[in-house]
Amino acid sequence: MESMRNSQDTCKGLSADDDDTQDFVRRRKLGKTLQSRHYPLVFLIIASATGYAATQYAGSVAPVVAQRPDVPIQKLLLADITSHTEHSPKIEARPLTLPECLGADNLIDEAVIACRFGSSQKAVNRSNAQGMVSARYMSHYKAQRQMPQPKLAAAQFVESAIVLQWDRTRTYRAEWVVTDNQIDDTSVCRNWRGGSIEYRECRKGAKVYFKEQCKRLAESASRQRYCSAASGFSPLG
């Protein structure tokens, strides 16, 4: 009897353990089922929070804009002024007249021509220029200037002009005496040695000069003087 009671107690103990085991397994399955149902919800919450945080961060960060290095204002102004200066038209100076270009010697040389007609002509340094007259003429002219001039009467005066050679390749300075508004034929080219080549060429050029002045000048005492010499003066006389 005692052994049977012990067997029954043992069976009851095993039955209670089985029940506990089945109950534990059932609760565990239920917990896993609940956890598996919560996973998608947790994932959605985490994804939403991550997206919101990324949006807020992107809005708070200012866009980076490449900035052009500053250019000094002075350089821009200098470049603008230089371009305007380079393209500005140059104002040409007024050409000088022949009397303004002539020197104290009244000689027409290349320097005088360059002065009269502008820089397009070949300019020559006056100190080194040979001019359009010979060295012999220059020495004779300077000697004549140093000689004392004869005293003239009140009605007389000495007149001079630059005359051209007959072929217009050379110039001569001609002097003559005017008495009572008449040119003294014998005094024409008196600044040259009588009988020399220069003397003869000077008188020929003076004849042409008298004719040109007679045609060019308006009616005046000077025109009458030149017209009288143009008709009555002989270079060979």
94-109 pLDDT, tens digit each = 777 777 887 777 777 7
Q: How far apart are CA 231 and CA 227, in angstroms?
A: 6
Same domain, 141 and 121: no
Same domain, 144 and 208: yes
Same domain, 3 and 20: yes
7-56 pLDDT, tens digit each = 555 555 545 555 666 666 677 666 666 556 666 776 778 877 777 776 76
Q: How many residues does the chain have?
A: 237
Dihedral sign, CA of 195, 196, 200, 206?
A: negative
* Sequence-distant (≥ 6) Cβ neighbours of residue 199 within 8 angstroms: 189, 192, 193
Domain of residue 103: give its range. Answer: 93-132
DSSP string for residues in 189-230: TTTS-TTSHHHHHHHHHHHHHHHHHHHHSPSSHHHHHHHHHH
Same domain, 118 and 154: no
- Cα of 96 vs its chain's centroid, Å: 25
